[in-house]
Amino acid sequence: MASYEIFELGNVALQKGSTIPNAKLAFKTMGTLNEAKDNVVVCPTWFTGYIDDVPPIFIGKGRAIDPDKHFIVIPALFGMGESSSPSNTPAPQEFVRFPHVTYYDNVSFQHRLLTEKFGITEILLVASWSMGGTQAYQWAAQYPDMVKAIAPVACSAKTAVYNELFLKSIRKAMVSDPAYKGGYYGDVPPLSGMRVMAQIYAGWGMSEEFYRKEVFRAFGHDTLDDFLVDFWEAYFAARDANNLISQIWTWLHGDISAQPAYGGDIAKALAAIKAKAIVLPSATDQYFPPVDSEAEVAAMKNAELRVIPSILGHFAPFNPDDQKFIDDAINDLLNG
């Protein structure tokens, strides 16, 4: 039994062209929408992440985002197998023929869910991590009058060149495996290429200091090789290559200014954000470096930069101490 619901979007026209017939937005809610409908928090999913991966990182009784207080909506990013994705869409849009979906599309769909299904007109907070955090930026730029606050964690409003290089290398690792078969690998995934991807990811995902201090031991892995195989390779082996590649496309094209209101002017898009923001890069994030967040905060009107003092690199939110740092910031946003 699925642990999430489906919002039927019908036939949706996409920003980059093409239409998905009977498109599906997977989502889950936690807590209760109050009568004033003013206790809404949105926590979108991220690259490789499922809906149920979100609560352990961001949500809990007594935490900053609390189902006893908030009505929490967790919408699934297109492309991971819960919302419409390469893996679950019928021909002629199956696998690699699944169309390109932007952040703009994703947030448009989420907006429809909130307004059409729940009659929500105001969002207290959009908070999430990585591609989920970029959706917080996207929400605030796309619906500036609707979003009161955002907490983008370890992400960016526009995908940087260095990030692009990282993404292209992992995508190339997958599609270069002959077992990928142009996306038609069926039940025999391109495991070899995905294992190369896993090792690339391991280097970018955590920091030099994480490896120097062998912090992987604290996560139950005695050696680097154990960590690479038992954690990283196993993690990606459980994902679908076409789905990952679809999300990588979305990530590569991340740019909150790529919409009619801003015409590609990123400074204009950032300046148009009315939400109060606390932007939370990880000090050691290698593909979303704090320097990029700093520039974004400088271009926003009501934003504060708080660098998470983590050695976990991009994966800071998986560290209890760093999670508390993030929760404190979210508390300040909600109660400040």
- What is the torsion angle, in degrees rounded to the nearest 10, for the CA atoms of residue 195, residue 200, residue 205 and residue 206? 100
Q: Which of residues 67-126 bind a copy of itself (CB under 8 A)?
A: none
Give per-residue burial for 4-19: e unless 16+ CB within 10 Å, then b: beebebeebebbeeee
Dihedrals φ, ψ of 287, to 5°?
-110, -15
Options 16-24, 58-66, 144-152, 162-170: segment touching a copy of itself (CB under 8 A): 162-170
Q: Which of residues 253-282 bind a copy of itself (CB under 8 A)?
A: none
Nearest by Cα to 48 from 211, 195, 237? 237
Distance (Å, rounded) from C-alpha 121 to C-alpha 105?
A: 19
Size of the residue set binding a copy of itself (CB under 8 A): 34
Distance (Å, rounded) from C-alpha 330 to C-alpha 185?
A: 43
166 scored as a contact of a copy of itself (CB under 8 A) = yes
245 scored as a contact of a copy of itself (CB under 8 A) = no
Distance (Å, rounded) from C-alpha 313 to C-alpha 316?
A: 6
3-state helix vs strand vs coil in the chain, percent to 5: 45, 15, 40
195 scored as a contact of a copy of itself (CB under 8 A) = yes
Residue closer to a copy of itself, measured from CB, 6 or 200: 200
CB of 199 to a copy of itself, least distance (A): 4
Tell me the catalytic residues: 130, 285, 314
Options 1-9, 76-84, 175-183, 270-278: segment touching a copy of itself (CB under 8 A): 175-183
| Bridge partners (DSSP) listed for residue 72 | 30, 41
172 scored as a contact of a copy of itself (CB under 8 A) = yes
Residue closer to a copy of itself, measured from CB, 37 or 172: 172
Given the rule CB under 8 A, which residues bind a copy of itself?
A: 160-162, 164-166, 168-169, 172-173, 176-178, 192-193, 195-196, 199-200, 202-204, 208-209, 211-212, 214, 224-225, 228, 286, 289, 291-292
